[in-house]
């Protein structure tokens, strides 16, 4: 019995190790690599200059223009490359709050001529978030594209032209991409590759492709040296649960271009914080970015697929190969898998089982096992919520795997223990229990696969890798009992590798993202589900083989005991650390003569521990704390109001505002919807039903001031809110922020507001 359980545990451990190891990036290539190859060592000085020498490069800040100038200089060193700075005013519409924002674009463009004018676009952004140096997001990719351009010029001339857009305003509501689409070069682009990031480590994940572009996927599959992608990531983006976006949507929707979206996803703890520094980056990650971008660009520039086909699913297998399927192909493969599973189940019935009811009982025990797994993990999360010790998995994510995953295993084994006892009382042998449960597990996977395919879900590839090998393995075990172990290995290993890899990816994305999510339930339940589901899915095939060894109840108790210890540890350990901090959104509000700091946390975090060192801080709205800083500076001299001649039409009047920045990086206006007829900023944005204000802004306002003319309805005074936005807080506010614990990451913007009566 012990040997059987030890053997299963050894196989499971090996599967987990392989699934995690293949996700590591390749070693960086040295600076003496062939000139036509990508070298991380050659690109590293560009990366360090952007992220360490310049630091934060947010749009409109002091280092934004020097960053563009530096990239222009490096690209102009390359022979035969046309380089241009796309600069000029633009307007972007912000989405979640409808706002019309003026800004200055500074896109760094490069054009590597091919034999034809038809072009492939490579794009990344060199600007960063305000909070940090943007090493992962997106300094790695920006520096990599400079080296990619050098490698392309060192190789033979390509059939198609290659254009680089190093976007200068991606973090400003993806404002750089729309400006590029106004450039004449954009008219030549037929396909694009977008590179972005929400992490600092690991390998690029292909997580989105434009609809119907199976040919682009196949080109990626042919070219990428270490392909890494999953259609399930695209499924998730379609649901809107991931609170991030890239310029991919602009090129695909506004530009009507065909393209691929690739991004880093590991170590999201540093995303949009001061921790996103070059010291945090894993060496080899840029090598993966550059090798992938270079190879895929050469493939697309040489043999761009013209035919379009619908996409059913896509995924890589351990980075060794990449599979792409049409919807019809997925239906055919699933039908084949279901037939194979039915054949294997029929073989078991004919040779081993005494009636179909034992197979149906095995199917029922498998379904109940999955349900018990998820319930057990949810109970563990519920215990943490009841104790008020949420987020205990955030800084130590392996505790979530051991705790919630261990509870899931214990729940599954507990059901199997009851099933074994019930069956043996009725004279069923352990081998019959094992084969019946194994066949039942195939039935569960068959149901999951059929549902996934009929719904057109990209994740439908996963059931295939459990059904086809599972059917073969079960047939081997039924036809040649002496090779049952070999049959089980065939059935378990391929599907488990993909399941563990996908589960690790989801945890790597969602655990760091938890401090940015808004959910209707405590996020402990979400993380418990993500940790438990891969365990339950693997247990469907792993546990039946163990049943013949006996003692599932004893192993269930052991797994549950270890898991409960991990849950207790999650209730005790600090939930956050300096490397994996609690994230606070902080605003300094100067209005009505008073200055106040507002603290907000994401993910339903309780801020009480973070606020302990701030005397005078108090709870305000749900999830928000306030701290009064005293009197605020007046804005009386920063707005000039000049009435204009009334336009034709009764009841209308014009007012011109000249608004001064006084060192602010952004100016804002908020105007009542019912009073505004038109403004000098272009067409009024289309508001949603519940919006009561028109909002306008100007990033990096001109020194002479921002002039806006409003056409208002009626003669009654109209209250308009004018706000100056500073990227840094006042010295007094910064003193307060410095008293926050080291496990808190915060960055405050200062908003100085006053009401204008027009």
- Report the distance separating Cα 709 and Cα 698, nearest Å: 14
pLDDT in the model for residue 17: 96
Mean pLDDT of 616-639: 82
Query: Quick check: 24 pLDDT over 80?
Result: yes
Packing angle of the helix pair 461-479, 430-454 (nearest 10 deg): 150
pTM value is: 0.94
Query: Quick check: 648 pLDDT over 80?
Result: no
Structure tokens at 210: 């434009």
pLDDT in the model for residue 237: 83
Query: Quick check: 620 pLDDT over 80?
Result: yes
pLDDT in the model for residue 96: 66
If you average pLDDT over every residue of the chain, what do you get?
92
Query: Quick check: 635 pLDDT over 70?
Result: no
pLDDT digits (tens, 9 = 90+) for 500-536: 999 999 999 999 999 888 766 789 999 999 999 999 9
The pLDDT confidence band at residue 29, using thresholds 50, 70 and 90, is very high
- Report the distance separating Cα 258 and Cα 517, nearest Å: 30
Residue span(s) of the chain under CATH 2.60.40.290 come to: 581-758
Tell me whether residue 254 is exposed, middle or buried, using C-beta atoms within 10 angstroms of its C-beta: 0 to 12, 13 to 18, 19 or more. Answer: exposed
Assign residue 418 a region (left: φ > 0; alpha: ψ between -120 and 50; beta: otherwise).
Answer: alpha
Mean pLDDT of 232-245: 82
Q: Which CATH architecture has domain 40-89+107-317?
A: 3-Layer(aba) Sandwich (3.40)
State how far the alpha carbon of 471 is from the alpha carbons of 164, 370, 477, 675, in Å: 49, 20, 10, 69
The residue behind tokens 């059901």 is 415
Please tell me the number of Cα atoms within 13 Å of 306 on its side-chain side: 2
pLDDT in the model for residue 406: 97
Lowest-confidence segment of 52-61, 88-97, 462-471 by average pLDDT? 88-97
Q: Does residue 161 or residue 545 have the better pLDDT? A: 161
Q: From 655, 650, 641, 647, select the one nearest 705 (Cα to Cα).
A: 641
- Report the distance separating Cα 588 and Cα 598, nearest Å: 6
State how far the alpha carbon of 639 is from the alpha carbons of 258, 657, 699, 710, 757, in Å: 46, 7, 17, 14, 11
Residue span(s) of the chain under CATH 3.40.630.10 come to: 40-89+107-317
pLDDT in the model for residue 307: 75
The pLDDT confidence band at residue 358, using thresholds 50, 70 and 90, is confident
Q: What is the 3-state secondary structure (H, E, C) of 153-172?
A: HHCCCCCEEEEEEEECCCCC
Query: Fold for domain 581-758?
Result: Immunoglobulin-like (2.60.40)
- Report the distance separating Cα 269 and Cα 696, nearest Å: 32
pLDDT digits (tens, 9 = 90+) for 526-580: 999 999 999 999 999 998 888 877 678 888 889 999 999 999 999 999 999 999 9
Q: Does residue 153 or residue 97 have the better pLDDT? A: 153
Mean pLDDT of 676-689: 90
Mean pLDDT of 378-391: 94
The pLDDT confidence band at residue 649, using thresholds 50, 70 and 90, is low
Lowest-confidence segment of 365-369, 573-577, 619-623 by average pLDDT? 619-623
The pLDDT confidence band at residue 495, using thresholds 50, 70 and 90, is very high
Query: How big is the chain, counted in residues?
Result: 758
User: How many other CB atoms are found less than 10 A from the CB of residue 180?
Assistant: 26
pLDDT in the model for residue 634: 66
Contact 34, 18 (CB under 8 A): no
Structure tokens at 413: 């084994």
The residue behind tokens 């999360």 is 381
- Report the distance separating Cα 587 and Cα 599, nearest Å: 7
Share of the chain above pLDDT 70, in %: 98
Query: Quick check: 603 pLDDT over 90?
Result: no
Mean pLDDT of 628-653: 79
Tell me whether residue 426 is exposed, middle or buried, using C-beta atoms within 10 angstroms of its C-beta: 0 to 12, 13 to 18, 19 or more. Answer: exposed
pLDDT in the model for residue 94: 66
Packing angle of the helix pair 40-48, 140-154 (nearest 10 deg): 130
Q: How many helices (H) and strands (E) does the chain have?
A: 19, 21
């Amino acid at each position: 019995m012990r040997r059987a359980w030890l053997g299963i545990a050894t196989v499971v451990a090996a599967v987990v190790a392989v699934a995690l190891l293949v996700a590591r990036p390749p070693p960086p290539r040295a600076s003496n690599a062939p000139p036509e190859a990508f070298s991380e060592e050659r690109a590293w000085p560009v990366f360090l200059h952007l992220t360490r020498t310049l630091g934060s490069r947010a749009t409109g800040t002091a280092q934004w223009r020097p960053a563009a100038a530096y990239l222009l200089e490096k690209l102009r060193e390359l022979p035969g490359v046309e380089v241009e700075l796309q600069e000029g005013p633009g307007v972007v519409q912000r989405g979640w709050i409808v706002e019309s924002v003026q800004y200055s674009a500074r896109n760094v463009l490069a054009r590597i001529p091919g034999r034809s004018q038809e072009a492939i676009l490579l794009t990344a952004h060199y600007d960063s978030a305000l909070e940090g140096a943007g090493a992962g997001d997106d300094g790695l990719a920006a520096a990599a594209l400079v080296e990619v351009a050098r490698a392309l010029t060192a190789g033979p001339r390509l059939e198609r032209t290659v254009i680089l857009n190093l976007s200068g305003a991606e973090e400003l509501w993806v404002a750089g991409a729309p400006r590029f689409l106004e450039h004449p070069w954009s008219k030549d682009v037929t396909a694009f590759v977008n590179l972005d990031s929400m992490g600092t480590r690991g390998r690029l994940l292909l997580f989105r492709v434009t609809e119907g572009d199976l040919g682009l996927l196949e080109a990626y599959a042919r070219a990428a040296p270490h392909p890494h992608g999953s259609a399930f990531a695209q499924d998730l983006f379609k649901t809107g649960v991931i609170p991030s976006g890239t310029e991919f949507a602009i090129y695909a929707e506004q530009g009507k271009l065909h393209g691929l979206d690739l991004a880093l996803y590991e170590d999201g703890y540093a995303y949009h914080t001061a921790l996103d520094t070059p010291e945090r980056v894993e060496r080899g990650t840029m090598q993966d970015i550059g090798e992938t971008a270079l190879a895929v660009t050469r493939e697309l520039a040489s043999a761009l697929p013209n035919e379009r086909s619908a996409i059913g699913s896509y995924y890589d297998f351990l980075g060794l190969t990449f599979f792409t399927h049409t919807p019809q192909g997925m239906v055919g493969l699933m039908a084949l898998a279901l037939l194979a599973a039915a054949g294997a189940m029929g073989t078991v019935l004919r040779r081993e089982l005494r009636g179909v009811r034992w197979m149906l009982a095995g199917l029922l025990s498998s379904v109940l096992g999955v349900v018990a797994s998820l319930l057990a993990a949810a109970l563990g999360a519920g215990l943490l919520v009841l104790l008020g010790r949420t987020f205990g998995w955030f800084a130590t994510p392996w505790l979530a795997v051991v705790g919630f995953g261990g509870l899931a295993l214990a729940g599954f084994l507990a059901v199997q223990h009851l099933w074994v006892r019930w069956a043996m009382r009725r004279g069923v042998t352990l081998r019959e229990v094992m084969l019946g449960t194994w066949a039942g597990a195939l039935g569960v996977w068959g149901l999951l696969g059929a549902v996934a395919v009929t719904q057109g879900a990209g994740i439908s590839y996963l059931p295939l890798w459990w059904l086809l090998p599972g059917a073969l393995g079960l047939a081997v075990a039924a036809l040649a009992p002496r090779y049952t172990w070999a049959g089980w290995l065939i059935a378990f290993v391929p599907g488990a590798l993909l399941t563990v890899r996908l589960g690790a990816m989801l945890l790597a994305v969602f655990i760091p993202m938890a401090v940015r999510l808004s959910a209707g339930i405590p996020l402990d339940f979400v993380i418990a589900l993500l940790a438990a589901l891969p365990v339950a899915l693997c247990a469907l095939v792993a546990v039946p083989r163990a049943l013949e060894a006996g003692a599932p109840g004893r192993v269930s108790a052991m797994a549950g005991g270890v898991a409960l210890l991990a849950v207790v540890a999650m209730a005790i350990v600090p939930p956050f650390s300096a490397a994996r901090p609690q994230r606070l959104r902080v605003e300094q509000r100067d209005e009505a003569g008073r200055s106040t700091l507002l603290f907000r946390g994401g993910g339903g975090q309780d801020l009480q521990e973070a606020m302990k060192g701030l005397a005078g801080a108090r709870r305000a709205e749900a999830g928000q704390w306030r701290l009064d800083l005293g009197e605020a500076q007046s804005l009386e001299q920063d707005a000039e109001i000049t009435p204009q001649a009334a336009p034709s039409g009764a009841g209308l009047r014009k007012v011109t505002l000249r608004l001064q920045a006084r060192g602010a990086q952004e100016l804002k206006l908020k105007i009542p919807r019912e009073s505004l007829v038109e403004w000098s900023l272009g067409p009024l944005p289309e508001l949603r039903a519940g919006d009561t204000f028109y909002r306008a802004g100007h990033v990096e306002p001109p020194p002479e001031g921002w002039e806006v003319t409003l056409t208002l309805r009626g003669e009654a005074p109209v209250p308009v809110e004018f706000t100056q936005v500073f990227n840094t807080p006042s010295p007094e506010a910064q003193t307060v922020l410095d008293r926050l614990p080291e496990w808190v990451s915060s960055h405050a913007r200062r908003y100085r507001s006053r009401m204008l009566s027009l």
